[in-house]
Structure formats: structure tokens, C-alpha cells
Amino acid sequence: MMRCFIEGIGLLGPALDGWQASRAVLTGDAAYLSAPTNLRASDMLPAAERRRAGVPIKLALAVGQEAFVQSGRDTSAAATVFTSSGGDNDNVHAINGILATAPREVSPTRFHNSVHNAAAGYWCIAAGSHEPSTSLCAYDASFAAGLLESATQVTVDDAVVALIAYDHPYPEPLHSVRPIGAAFGMALILAPRQTGKSLAAIEMEFVPGKADETPMLEPGLEALRRGVPAARSLPLLAALASGKATQVSIACFDHNHLNIRVTPC
Amino acid sequence: MQPLVISHITLANSLGLGSAATLDALRSRRSGLIPCAFEDVDLEAYIAKVEMLDSYRVRDDLSAYDCRNNRLAQLCLEQDGFVDAVEAARKKYGAARIGVFLGTSTSGILQTELAYRHLDPQTGALPADFRYAETQNSYSLAGFVTHYLGLTGPSFVVSSACSSSAKVFANAMRMMAAGVCDAAVVGGVDSLCLSTLYGFNSLGLVSRFPCRPYDADRDGISVGEGAGFVLIERATPDNSSGAMMLLGVGESSDAYHMSTPHPEGLGAKLAMQRALDSAGLKAGDIDYINLHGTATKSNDASEGKAVADVFGASVPCSSTKGWTGHMLGAAGITEAIIAMLAVEHGFIPGSMHTQRLDPAMEIDYRIENSEAKIKRVLSNSFGFGGSNCSLVLGREA
């Protein structure tokens, strides 16, 4: 069993414009309306890079920044775990198009932004962080993988870790073979010990066997959970929003799942 | 960290199939670099290629995963008795207790690059046989390997560019320490594709010649493909006497630039120092350093300064990329295994294609091969986005 304390939360998705603004929706106390994700470039980036930032960088920096502000932690002092099923999906589509026709002129910026860890690279520069940073992918289980990895860093390395999960739709023709419902990002600041900033404790176990995943009761949020790998985090976010002790189960493919006990501090 | 036993290794790359082929090529100074002949790529460059992949296929029951990257993964798993070793571990620990943590930068993207040439002229749709999850997605590699080996423990892919398959050692270390699994298959696979060849070329980072690490006239990388895997287990009185071990891991971020390393090697220095600290060792305890040594102007200058700062000029160092090319997401695992071969065989590889050592380097860079007693080695892997990882491997003090 791994125990972590959550000190900050970030959220940006369709009609989910920030953690504070979304809490009532997540607890079912306010209606979930439909609206596109309010993507914006972070003021953490210099102006030139802000203009060139693709969707993943916008998502990752927005949710990371929100979570850090809430935690009061210094962005330069935390390790980071980024997780995403894709990477910069618009960019990957563009590069495939460029390579399919002559002349194959891939721009340098396109290329270095196409690496899976581009958002991590921009974050570390903007955050001034020399701490360890990793970038994971586990297809539909990417959020679970990121949470598991973050919990091991907290418990084994005694580190403060920012977990940042994001995904966004591919353009066609890839959208048809890998439909991702919306642009969605979320972040958690996880620490090894309770502090005055602790919002909740999570106790997590990696359990063999297929799970009865915790669903979202609201149909729109459930569709979002199923439609976006990073949105598999929604039941955990809803548990955190409720302020009550709650048990959440998240699948890691068909073989395993995470059992997470959320206890408010 | 608690040292972990590396109980089995396997390699496949342009030097041949199996770790003995790589060792033999290193010893006989046979490089895998050839003038670029891959698909219809029209670049003046050298590459390191695994020729038999074009005609090779993955196992029938996994045919949905068939792509160059997973072919290379399977070809590698089939060498060095690796499948048998994993099977023995599976009997010992159970399939659910063995993790799979693998690095790749481009996974099966070649499949998508080729599919984009055959989009439906009316609808723009991808060909009907295109399999996204099993080929293009970065997880494809770990999905394929878990199925191939029949493992059901925790699994994911690390994709942090060229440090990917070094960082997976840290994932395995943490997962085992946290009790999530009892053993782990770690490694990495990257295969040739147009994205990396044209992409690195656009950055002016591809040499027209075979890459010349740490040479005064070095002018860029040669892209290669390769795969490597190791089986990691906890150290017990039964398995640890004289065993090859993972002794330390250090990770850091440059926080400097997306595609250029910190000029003073700040992130590299942090990664090396953290790896030494994690192993409880000092610089003088290291007998050989396998450098990242990509042969770009900036990497080698930055890494050279960092190594000089941490180790001075007393530890033999070399980059083996003149043999293998830069295997990107498979560089970390391949070079970790080469470093372990150095320990096992008392052999210090030099540097292929390096003619005149850059006089600015204040380190003991070796161009010629040599023999020496080696107990502990450090292997460096640095990637785009400023992602750094150093490993300490060898035998315990």
C-alpha cells in the first residue's frame, strides 16, 4: 500500500474550466453543461514559445500551474510525471502528411515538438526544474500508469511529485482509428507527508485482476471518462471534490487495477 | 538504492543478433554504419540498420502488432536465451508479479508514415488494415512484449526521447521497492523511420559521414536502430554472489532548451552525481564510462565538460555510437548492456570513426580498445527536452 498526500489539483477539460470552478459539477451539485475546452497558452512561457505551443503544452502547463499555485510549492523543487496516450497529435498528423509528399521538409520546431516528452521539456524550462521528469504512455491506461509511477516516486524516493496527464483529439484520418473525445488535462501535487496544505490522503494498491471501474454518475462526464484516456482520472477527482472518504477503482488494462482510498485531511 | 540483480541480457542491432555479436563487433572494430539505404529516403547520411527486418514477421497470434519496431523487439527477445529466462522467472514469481517497463521514442510510427501515402483518394481514410493501437501508439511496444512473454504485471512505456530506455531502470527499481512487482523486464526498441531521419536532418544534426564521437571535426549523428532487454530481480543470498547489478540511477532535467543540451552540462552533471549518490559510490569507484557521445557539436562539448567536472581525467570513457549509430529510445539499454559486457569481459571499447580527439575535452577519452579489470561502470543517456539519466552498473564492492 502506497500513501501520498495531495496538496494541489489542476483540471482543464470541456466545460471544466479549472479545479475550483469544476468542483460543484464533479460532486453533482451543479449541472454539467457542454462547452469546448478553454485552451489558453500559459504565461509561464516566453512570448515566442507561447505562440508555437500546441494543445498538449497548453493543457499541461495550465493544469500544472493551477495545481502548483494551490499547493504553494515551488515549481522548481518538484519531480514531474507526465502521462499521455498520444503526444502532440496535431503535429504528428502534420509530419506524416509532410513525409508522404515531396519535398519532405519537416521544420525543426515541428520535429522537436513531436517527441512524446515535449510538454515535459517545456514545463521543466518554464518551471526552472532540474528534478527528474518522465513521460509515460500506456494507451487507455496512461492515467493509471502515471498515478502508479508518481506514487512509487513519493513513497520510494520520498519526493514531491507533480503528476500531469493530458490527451487531445487527433485530426482525421487518425481520429477515425483512435477517437479521443476532447482536449483534457489534469494535475495532482503529491507529497510524502501531511502538511498544512494537504487536501486529502490517498492510499493506493496495485491489484491483479479486472476491475469494476468506478464510473461517473453524470452521463456527460461518464462519456468524457470513457472517451479520453486522461479523463480516467475523473472518479478520483470527483472523490477529491466530495470532501468525503471514498474508494475509487481505476483499470490498468484488463489484467490489473488500482484501488485508491481517498481520505480528506 | 538497494542493488538489484541483472539476471539476463539480450541485444539485437546492426552489429548482429545477440549480445555476443555486439561484443565481437566491438572487439574487432566492425562498425554497423552504412550509407543510408532505407525505404526511399533521399538523405546523404549513414545509418545502422537491422537488414533482416524487412522480411521478418512477428508471431502469428500477434500479427496485429506487426511493424518494424515490434519485429525488432521479437527478434531481440529470441536471442541469448532470454525467453527461457523470463519463463523461469514467470514460474518463480507468477506472471502478475513481473513488470514490463520499456523505452521507445517513435514506436511503430513508420507504419503510419507509409499508410499516409495510401490514404483513400475519396475519403482520406487510412488503409483498412492500419492498426493504430498495436503499431503507432507508443504503448504498442510494451503491449507486444507483455503478450509475447505472457506477462501480466504493471507495464508502461517511457518516451523521453533518447533517455527513454535508461530511465526504465529507475521505474523498475521503484516498482520493486514499492512491492508492486518482484521482477521486471526493462529495455527499449527504436527502429528506423522517416520522422527521425528527416527531423534530425532539419535540425542540422545528421552527419554526411559515419558519426565521429568526441572528434574535433564531429558534425552530427548517424541514426541507428536496435533493441535490448534485461531481466531484473531482487538480490538474494542465492543469486547475488558475483552477479551483475544495477547499483545506482540518477535522473535530472536540463530546464534549458528543447533540442540543445545545457552548454555547461548542468543536467548531465546532476544525473551522474545523483547516480553515484544513489549507488553510495564516489567518482573514483567508476572504472569506465559509456558516454552518450552522439557526435553532435553541442552534446559532446556539454557532456565532456560535465564528465570532467564530476570525474576529472582519470576514468576511461568512450562513446560506442560509431559502431551502433544513435539508437535514440534504444540507446540507453544498448549502452547499459555494452557497459555490462565491459565489466564481464574486462574490455574497454574505444571509439569508432573518431580520428582526432577534440582538444577541448579534458577527459580520458579512449579511441583504441583496451583490456582492463573493470568492476563498476557508468552509462549516460540524454534526450531532447533536457531529459537525462545515468546508470551505475557492475559488481558490488
What are the pLDDT digits (tens) for B172-208?
999 999 999 999 999 999 999 999 999 999 999 999 9
Query: CA A47 to CA A44: how far, in whole Å?
Result: 9
Q: A18 CB near a chain B CB, below 8 Å?
A: no
Mean pLDDT of chain A: 96
Cell matching residue B43: 538523405
Number of domains in chain B: 1
Task: Work out whether the CA dihedral A218, A220, A226, A230 comes out positive or negative.
Answer: negative
Q: B178 CB near a chain A CB, below 8 Å?
A: yes
What are the pLDDT digits (tens) for A179-222?
999 999 999 999 999 999 999 999 999 999 998 999 999 999 99
pLDDT of residue B252: 98
Host domain of residue B389 = 4-394
pTM above 0.95, yes or no: yes
Residues in contact with B235: Cβ distance below 8 Å, sequence separation at least 6, in sequence order: B2, B3, B4, B5, B243, B245
Say if CB B364 and CB B315 are below 8 A apart. yes
Task: Work out whether the CA dihedral B49, B52, B56, B59 comes out positive or negative.
Answer: negative
Confidence of residue A49 (pLDDT cuts 50, 70, 90): confident
Report helix, strand or coil for B77. Answer: helix
What are the pLDDT digits (tens) for B132-160?
999 999 999 999 999 999 999 999 999 99
Looking at residue B135, the DSSP 8-state letter turns out to be: I
Say if CB B380 and CB B336 are below 8 A apart. no
Query: CA A134 to CA A150: how far, in whole Å?
Result: 10
What are the pLDDT digits (tens) for B41-90?
999 999 999 999 999 999 999 999 999 999 999 999 999 999 999 999 99
**Neighboring chain B residues of A173 at a CB cutoff of 8 Å:** 119, 124-126
Q: What is the mean pLDDT of residues A245-251?
A: 98
% of chain A with per-residue pLDDT over 70:
100
Question: Which among A129, A137, A252 has CB closest to B137?
Answer: A137
Say if CB B258 and CB A52 are below 8 A apart. no
pLDDT of residue A120: 96
pLDDT of residue B193: 98
pLDDT of residue A47: 86
Determine which of B152, B253, B259 to mutate to test the interface with A (most A C-beta atoms within 10 Å): B253
| Closest alpha carbon to A143 in B214, B156, B202 | B156
Supply the CATH number for residue B201's domain: 3.40.47.10
Confidence of residue A50 (pLDDT cuts 50, 70, 90): confident
Q: CB-based burial of residue B234 (10 Å sphere; 0-12 exposed, 13-18 middle, 19+ buried)?
A: middle
Confidence of residue B92 (pLDDT cuts 50, 70, 90): very high
Q: A130 CB near a chain B CB, below 8 Å?
A: yes
Residue B361 CA to its chain's centroid (Å): 24
B386: left (phi over 0), alpha (psi -120 to 50) or beta: left
Cell matching residue B315: 576514468
Q: How many residues does chain A have?
A: 265
Q: What is the mean pLDDT of residues A134-146?
A: 98
Determine the residue type at A99.
L
Domains belonging to chain A, first-starting first, are 2-196 (3.40.47.10)
Confidence of residue A52 (pLDDT cuts 50, 70, 90): confident
Contact A137 B266 (CB under 8 A): no
Catalytic residues of B: 162, 292, 326
Mean pLDDT of chain B: 97
Residue in B with minimal Cα distance to A208? B96
pLDDT at A41 over 90: no
CB within 8 Å of chain B, chain A residues 28-87: 76, 80, 85-87
Question: Which among A76, A104, A121 has CB closest to B384?
Answer: A121
Count Cα atoms within 13 angstroms, Cβ side, for B221. Answer: 28
Q: B128 CB near a chain A CB, below 8 Å?
A: no
Contact B170 A137 (CB under 8 A): no
**Neighboring chain B residues of A125 at a CB cutoff of 8 Å:** 255-258, 386
What are the pLDDT digits (tens) for B248-297?
999 999 999 988 999 999 999 999 999 999 999 999 999 999 999 999 99
Its ipTM equals 0.98
Q: What is the mean pLDDT of residues A30-35?
A: 94
Contact B180 A152 (CB under 8 A): yes
pLDDT of residue B65: 98
Cell matching residue B189: 526498441
Cell matching residue A187: 494535475
pLDDT at A102 over 90: no
Confidence of residue B397 (pLDDT cuts 50, 70, 90): low
Query: CA B268 to CA B298: how far, in whole Å?
Result: 13
Q: Name the minimum distance, in Å, from the CA of A8 to any CA of chain B.
A: 22
Q: A149 CB near a chain B CB, below 8 Å?
A: yes
pLDDT of residue A51: 83
Determine the residue type at B134.
E
